[in-house]
Structure 1
Amino acid sequence: MDLESMTSASALQALSKLLSIPEEEEDGLEQVLDPSPAVGALSPGNIGPAKKEESKVNPPNKTENRKDIWDPEEVPEGSEFDDMWDPRGQPEYDIIFKQQVGAEDVFLGMTRKDPSTACCEDLLIKIKLPGTKSSDITLDIREKVLDLRTPKHKLLLHLPHPVDSKTGKASFITEKEILEVTLTMKREFDFINFF
């Protein structure tokens, strides 16, 4: 017998040993491979050990109402204004990020500001409202939602950043029929960007 035939024979035995299933596992494998009609077809979820059912624990101060379809926390802010059956059109708008810079920022780079939106303080929203008078505009601003309504237009805009709704300002440019809304953004780490 030469060395090659011994190596191939031992390799085949090792391979068959790897592929063979131990007897105690064979019973469990037959049950998994032969599902009863009540169990249904196998899926990727059947791989691995059986999963235990997680028990749902309600917080002690929260009362569960079985008639509710969802929790109030699951509803996004501003969805109460959304009305898909409203025939009014959505006006065109632009969102512009603004930052206040001085000579020390532009020439010396002393305040570490850069052109990115992370260094912007204000959010300017320009809304085109053709055929609208300033007296016809109803504007409601929340932390994450801008709601604008006129007789011809309706805009429900989810803002890209939370804003301070109490310090915003709006001006209507009659000649261009554009409403400009300037809002101050609220961010957690403003003390890092601005000193």
Structure 2
Amino acid sequence: MSDLTFDIKSLETLLRESNDESSDDEDQPIKNLSAKLGPGCIGPNKKETSYTQEKNNLYAKKQSKNIWDEDEVEAGAEYDTSDDPRIQPEYDILFKQKLSSEELFLQMGNKTAATSSCEDMVIKIKLPGVEKVSEIDINTFEKFLDCRTLNYRLGLHLPHPVNPKTSSAKWDQKNSTLIVTMTMNREYDFVNF
């Protein structure tokens, strides 16, 4: 018997067995299901990485001069003020919205008293003892406000993201209050306005 004849005979038996089983597939019990499924089967399949890829990734981390990876550092940790002896001033957060006469008198608009209908965030920081505006150092970021003077320091995580480029500050000399106005930058503002 030649090898070709043997291969054809093997193929014939293989196909014949699969056709016979296909008719009764639904009636057959599932074999070794518990061996196939387990807690590791939940979720997406893991990407298989070779040993050399893992070794190269580890080598790349060792070659960088960073002490921590970016995902290991908490957001806003660079503004930690636990070691600063300066006093945190009193502050108020207010929300401001622009109303037209139709919305104000006829209540024809879709604005409500909720912060989702407000365009601006106003922060009033009371700084008693500060005489001049030049004594105040203020920086605004998308989610953080940093205000410093000789005696006060305020590191404030903002409740809503803002646009730092459109922020403005005004000094109220009479009340020793710094008024910071920031335009809020939210994802769904086009729906609210």
Cα offset, 1:51, TM superposition = 4.2
Does the 8 Å CA contact 2:91/2:125 hold for their aligned counterparts?
yes
1:157 is matched with 156
Q: Deviation per CA, 1:102-122, whole angstroms, max 9, x where unpaired?
A: 221123233211111110000
Does the 8 Å CA contact 2:138/2:146 hold for their aligned counterparts?
yes
In structure 1, list runs of 5 or more residues that go unmatched: 1-48
2:141 is matched with 142
Identical aligned residues as a percent: 48
The equivalences for 1:161-180 within 5 A come to 161-180=160-179
Distance 1:174 1:115 in 2: 30
Cα offset, 1:84, TM superposition = 1.1
Distance 1:136 1:96 in 2: 24
The 1:56–1:90 alpha-carbon spacing in structure 2 relative to 1, beyond 3 Å, is farther
Q: Deviation per CA, 1:51-78, whole angstroms, max 9, x where unpaired?
A: 44996879x9x87625867531453443
1:41 is matched with none
- The letter for the 1-side match of 2:179 is E
SS of match in other structure, 1:191:
helix
Does the 8 Å CA contact 1:77/1:145 hold for their aligned counterparts?
no
- Which structure's residues are more often helix, by fraction? 2
Distance 2:156 2:127 in 1: 15
Does the 8 Å CA contact 2:87/2:153 hold for their aligned counterparts?
yes
Distance 1:95 1:185 in 2: 13
Task: Decide which of 69, 77, 80 is 1:79's aligned counterpart.
Answer: 77
> Any runs of at least 4 consecutive aligned residues in structure 1 with deviations exceeding 6 A, and if so which?
none
Task: Decide which of 77, 95, 98 is 1:97's aligned counterpart.
Answer: 95
Does the 8 Å CA contact 2:167/2:180 hold for their aligned counterparts?
yes
Distance 1:57 1:91 in 2: 53
The 1:108–1:81 alpha-carbon spacing in structure 2 relative to 1, beyond 3 Å, is same
- The letter for the 2-side match of 1:154 is R
Does the 8 Å CA contact 1:77/1:144 hold for their aligned counterparts?
no
The equivalences for 1:1-195 within 5 A come to 51-52=39-40, 65=61, 70-132=68-130, 133-194=132-193
The TM-score with structure 2 as length reference comes to 0.65
RMSD of aligned residue pairs (Cα, Å):
3.0
Cα offset, 1:135, TM superposition = 1.0
